[in-house]
Amino acid sequence: MSTIRVDAKVVMLGKESVGKTSLVERYVHHRFLVGPYQNTIGAAFVAKPIQLGEKVVTLGIWDTAGSERYEAMSRIYYRGARAAIVCYDLTDSSSFQRARFWVKELQNCEEQCKIYLCGTKNDLITADRSLRQIDYHDAQDFAEEIGAQYFETSSKTGNNVGESDIVMLRTLDLSQTAVFIHEESGVDLGQKKDSYFYSCCHNN
Ligand SMILES: Nc1nc2c(ncn2[C@@H]2O[C@H](COP(=O)(O)OP(=O)(O)OP(=O)(O)O)[C@@H](O)[C@H]2O)c(=O)[nH]1
């Protein structure tokens, strides 16, 4: 039986330090890296193959740098993306403003890109509710207004990221062809499994 291969380009966007890299790490490698925060420079890429029945879906995830210094570069990475995960830190209201900025950008420049709004670090809220700076319902309302799906995650605990692929798969709507770049029949995924490399690098 031939394997159907599907590629989907996904881009992570959001203010620096909101936890984009951690989300990708948790999703792809099921781990949370502790130690000093290292900001992403430029962008990092990870390919994540997933077996879905007879289909192998390879998510090509571009993890962009959140620093405004790299704003122009991030625009390059969302080009042609079929899905964008726009992240903000639930404990930082300025990061929600930045998320709004990226949503506007995507609406203006990548109309076909499906947007997912992600509130990060919800373990901090679980530990201390007073840390929440963006009300759940306000975020939900915003997501509805822009036609996005909304979810709150913790890369630290794995909450809503998915020990398996379940949550992310659902959030990425992989059952819908809308997020796919192309489909080919009979292509074996071979050694493309879980390759993870940085197009640039991380900085201390
Ligand atoms: N408590 C908690 N801390 C988190 C979580 N996710 C990320 N962090 C921390 O937040 C800091 C920033 O995380 P990164 O994943 O590097 O953030 P980023 O958005 O990729 O940052 P840039 O590369 O600068 O764009 C790090 O110190 C992480 O350990 C989380 O779910 N919970």
Task: Report whether pLDDT(12) > 80.
Answer: yes
The pLDDT score that the predictor gives to residue 147 is: 92
> Which one-letter amino acid corresponds to residue 139?
A
Ligand 1 in reach of 119 Cβ (< 6 A) = no
Nearest CA to ligand 1 atom 11: 17
Beta bridge partners of 40: 202
What's the CATH superfamily of 8-179? P-loop containing nucleotide triphosphate hydrolases (3.40.50.300)
Average pLDDT over residues 139-168: 82
Task: Report whether pLDDT(163) > 60.
Answer: no
The pLDDT score that the predictor gives to residue 89 is: 98
The pLDDT score that the predictor gives to residue 175 is: 41
Positive or negative CA dihedral for 176, 179, 185, 190? negative
Ligand 1 in reach of 91 Cβ (< 6 A) = no
Higher pLDDT, 195 or 168: 168
Spatial contact of 194 and 165, defined as CB atoms under 8 Å apart:
no
Largest Cα separation within the chain, whole Å, is: 54
Confidence bin at 170 (pLDDT 50/70/90): low
Confidence bin at 55 (pLDDT 50/70/90): confident
Average pLDDT along the chain:
79
Task: Report whether pLDDT(94) > 90.
Answer: yes
- 25 membership: H or E segment, kind and range: helix 20-29
Ligand 1: centre distance to CA 145 (Å): 27
Question: Hey, what long-range contacts does 106-113 have (CB within 8 A, 24 or more apart)?
Answer: 106/13, 106/78, 107/146, 109/75, 109/78, 109/79, 110/78, 110/79, 110/80, 110/81, 110/84, 112/82, 112/178, 113/11, 113/78, 113/81, 113/82, 113/83, 113/84
User: How many angstroms separate the CA atoms of 163 and 56, rounded?
Assistant: 19
Which of 31, 130, 34, 39 is CA-nearest to residue 90? 130
Would you give the DSSP letter of residue 29? H
Q: Where are the domains of the chain?
A: 8-179
The pLDDT score that the predictor gives to residue 44 is: 92
Which of 74, 55, 45 is CA-nearest to residue 7? 55
Ligand 1: centre distance to CA 157 (Å): 13
The pLDDT score that the predictor gives to residue 169 is: 53
Higher pLDDT, 145 or 175: 145
Average pLDDT over residues 70-96: 92
Ligand 1 pocket: which of 12, 15, 21 to mutate (most atoms <8 Å of CB)?
21
The pLDDT score that the predictor gives to residue 179 is: 32
Q: What interface predicted TM-score (ipTM) does this complex get?
A: 0.99
